[in-house]
Amino acid sequence: MARPVAISSLGHRTVRQGSARAMSVIRRSGLHLIAIVGGGLLMIPFAWAVISSLKPWNEIRILPPTFWPSHFAWSNYPEVWSTQYFSGWVFNSVEISILATIGTVITAALAGFAFARLRFPGRNQIGRASCRERV
- What pLDDT digit, counting tens, does each position of 12-43 carry? 555 566 677 888 888 899 999 999 999 999 99
The model carries a pTM of 0.54
pLDDT in tens, 47-62: 999 999 999 988 888 8
Considering only CA atoms, give the Rg of the chain. 29
Q: Tell me the C-alpha distance between 56 and 8, whole Å.
A: 72
Structure confidence at residue 7 (pLDDT):
58
| DSSP conformational letter for 3 | P
Helix pair 86-117, 123-134: axis angle to 10 deg? 140
